[in-house]
Amino acid sequence: MILVISGMVAAFMLAIATISSPGQAARVGWALTMLVPPWICRYVGATEINSQTVVAGLAVVVIFLRPSRFKFPVFSWFDLVPLALMASSAISIAYNDSLGPTTVAKLAFLWVSPYVLGRLMVTGPEDLRELIPIAAALTTLLAMAFVFECVTGLNVWNAVLQHQGSLQSQSGQRFGLTRAEGPFSHPISAGLFLAISSPWVFTRTYQAIYQGCSKFWLLAPFMVAAGVGATLSRGPFMVFLSVIGGFAFYYYRPIRIPIVYTGIIAIAMAAVMLPSLVEMGESVESSNDIREIEIQGKTYVYSGSRHRYLLFPVYQEAIADAGWLGFGSWGTSAKHISYIHPDLRRLFGSIDNQYLLHYLNTGVVGTTTFFIMLVWLFVIFGRYAGQLKGETEFFTVASFSAVLGTSVILLTVWLASEFSFVFLLNIGLIAGLLGYARGLTETAPKRVQLFGRPLPSFDANGKAQSLPNAADQTFDKKGFN
């Protein structure tokens, strides 16, 4: 089936590239893959080929077929970070095992292609404005499908394609409701994909308030919230709330210090009240899933809520031996399995902590590179986001908040390919828009500004006071360092 879908997408993208532009073909092609199940795929050696990787490859093809119609993004040093992530993984695998061509392709599709696609799709405000309507519409449609599945128990994709859903969706009900997963393989992946995609809907709502598009979009964020909630997963909803929190922190300066203090107090209280919070989480679990287990000669109470922090005593010896380059690809060798006691292998075979898993895979080098990506993104956001205007600034704030929220949630889940693509694509979008903003700083009057400024105000007639649009300013296309 992936061959049929690939052929259709290729024909569609080539047609749009001919009629309009390669950039528009990349944008529409990616947006449509939001509704295509990632589990429709084919393996070529170690490489997984699905609709998203097909679109990423085709985007490059159509751009080089029609280069005169495409505005190429300017290189920035940040563009090397995904390559460094890929390289650190490849070096670790080569050091521990053997590195074949399909493994290299797998790493390229995992770390580089989503970022590159994001950079190619949006090079400035005009590209973003073209993509917002379709991406927001498809995100909202996906959210409504999740709500429908949660209430009725019917997964439209599984029913049409005769696909067996995940165990969590089929029998992991909470509060008598089905955990929605839509076209994905797990409710958490579904919820995180939707939460990371929510900036499209929030930005469309911004346009409804300040630019006069349909008032329907005033309701859309609530629909997306319901869709994220329909997965009945705590992590995705925290990411969704982080987007709202990001707006509050960025646009309303008087509450920044209270938010910081509130966060510090909340972390302190969570540390003190951890046993009570764990028990609260266990209250929604089946009593059959709570038991006593022995780890390194000590007895622990095991539950789904305790699973994440029990990973560290379970993998204590493996963590100590990971070293600079890690184990390559954790779980592919009998040596890896030998680190875990046989009685614990079924419970802890899945490492629900991306930072721990990445450390085991790539060691100090790869994990440091991952942290550098997040810190560097934070620095350039704080430095250049304020130069953007209108919905471009609003979308950048929302996407950055979603990435930041997801980075925290990765303490409780591994970076599965079903949502890692949109996570890294968002980083590519943010990097591109911040590179555009860097160009504005080269021609605009110098001013000291960290983060944002107030949203547009309303006049006496209730009409929004428009802000200057960054697209109207001169841009010399300088990248950021």
pLDDT tens digit sequence for 320-351: 999 999 998 887 777 888 898 888 888 888 89
Q: Do the domain assignments include residue 453?
A: no
Q: Do the domain assignments include residue 192?
A: no
- Selection from 275, 272, 241 nearest residue 259 by Cα: 241
pLDDT tens digit sequence for 223-270: 999 999 999 988 999 999 999 999 989 988 888 888 788 878 877 887
Residue 426 CB partners (closer than 8 Å, separation 6+):
118, 196, 199, 399, 402, 403
Full residue range of the structural domain in which residue 296 is found: 273-311
- For residue 392, the model assigns a pLDDT of 95
- For residue 254, the model assigns a pLDDT of 84
- How many domains are contained in the chain? 1
- Selection from 432, 425, 447 nearest residue 117 by Cα: 425
Lowest mean pLDDT among 188-197, 279-288, 418-427, 443-452: 443-452
Where does the pLDDT of residue 481 fall: very low under 50, low under 70, confident under 90, or very high at 90 and above?
Answer: very low
User: Do residues 415 and 111 touch, judged by C-beta distance below 8 A?
Assistant: no
User: Do residues 196 and 426 touch, judged by C-beta distance below 8 A?
Assistant: yes
Structure token digits, residue 96? 């521990």
Q: Do the domain assignments include residue 262?
A: no
Sign of CA dihedral 74, 424, 411, 88: negative
Average pLDDT over residues 447-472: 50
User: Do residues 320 and 343 touch, judged by C-beta distance below 8 A?
Assistant: no
Sign of CA dihedral 212, 140, 148, 1: positive
Residue indicated by tokens 């509060």: 175
Q: What are the residues facing 174 on neighbouring strands?
A: 177
- For residue 478, the model assigns a pLDDT of 41
In this predicted model, which residue has the larger pLDDT, 271 or 91?
A: 91
Q: Do the domain assignments include residue 463?
A: no
Rg (CA), the chain: 23
- φ and ψ at 184, to 5 degrees? -105, 180
What is the C-alpha to C-alpha distance for residues 2 and 433, in angstroms, rounded to an integer?
32
Residue 35 has pLDDT above 80, yes or no: yes
Q: Do the domain assignments include residue 303?
A: yes
User: Do residues 250 and 451 touch, judged by C-beta distance below 8 A?
Assistant: yes
- For residue 345, the model assigns a pLDDT of 86
What is the C-alpha to C-alpha distance for residues 208 and 226, in angstroms, rounded to an integer?
20
Q: What H or E segment, with its residue span, contains residue 414?
A: none
What single string gives the DSSP state of each residue in 292-330?
Answer: EEEETTEEEEE-TTTHHHHHHHHTHHHHHHHTTTTTSST
Residue 135 has pLDDT above 80, yes or no: yes
pLDDT tens digit sequence for 411-443: 989 999 899 999 999 999 999 999 998 887 665
Residue indicated by tokens 């899933």: 289
Q: Do the domain assignments include residue 302?
A: yes
DSSP at 177: B
3 state DSSP class of 47 = strand
Where does the pLDDT of residue 274 fall: very low under 50, low under 70, confident under 90, or very high at 90 and above?
Answer: low
- For residue 166, the model assigns a pLDDT of 74
Residue 166 CB partners (closer than 8 Å, separation 6+):
181, 185, 186, 187
- φ and ψ at 43, to 5 degrees? -100, 130
What is the C-alpha to C-alpha distance for residues 170 and 178, in angstroms, rounded to an integer?
7
Where does the pLDDT of residue 194 fall: very low under 50, low under 70, confident under 90, or very high at 90 and above?
Answer: very high
- Selection from 305, 49, 286 nearest residue 167 by Cα: 286
In this predicted model, which residue has the larger pLDDT, 299 or 2?
A: 299
Q: Residue 453: CA atoms inside 13 Å, Cβ hemisphere, count?
A: 15
Lowest mean pLDDT among 27-31, 167-171, 245-249, 250-254: 167-171
Mean of per-residue pLDDT scores for the chain: 85
- For residue 1, the model assigns a pLDDT of 73
Q: Do the domain assignments include residue 282?
A: yes
Where does the pLDDT of residue 476 fall: very low under 50, low under 70, confident under 90, or very high at 90 and above?
Answer: very low
- Selection from 233, 228, 27 nearest residue 145 by Cα: 228
How far, CA to CA in Å, does 427 sit from each of 178, 431, 435?
A: 32, 6, 12
- For residue 479, the model assigns a pLDDT of 41
Where does the pLDDT of residue 354 fall: very low under 50, low under 70, confident under 90, or very high at 90 and above?
Answer: very high
Residue 134 has pLDDT above 90, yes or no: yes
Residue 171 has pLDDT above 80, yes or no: no
pLDDT tens digit sequence for 64-82: 878 877 787 888 899 999 9
Residue 161 has pLDDT above 80, yes or no: yes
pLDDT tens digit sequence for 5-17: 778 878 888 888 8
- Selection from 367, 374, 278, 269 nearest residue 325 by Cα: 367
- What b-and-e string marks burial along 374-402, b requiring 16 or more CB atoms within 10 Å of the CB? eeebeebbebbbbbbbbbbbbbbbbbbbb
User: Do residues 191 and 185 touch, judged by C-beta distance below 8 A?
Assistant: no
In this predicted model, which residue has the larger pLDDT, 405 or 19?
A: 405
Q: Do the domain assignments include residue 112?
A: no
- What b-and-e string marks burial along 438-462, b requiring 16 or more CB atoms within 10 Å of the CB? bbbbeeeeeeeeeebeebeeeeeee
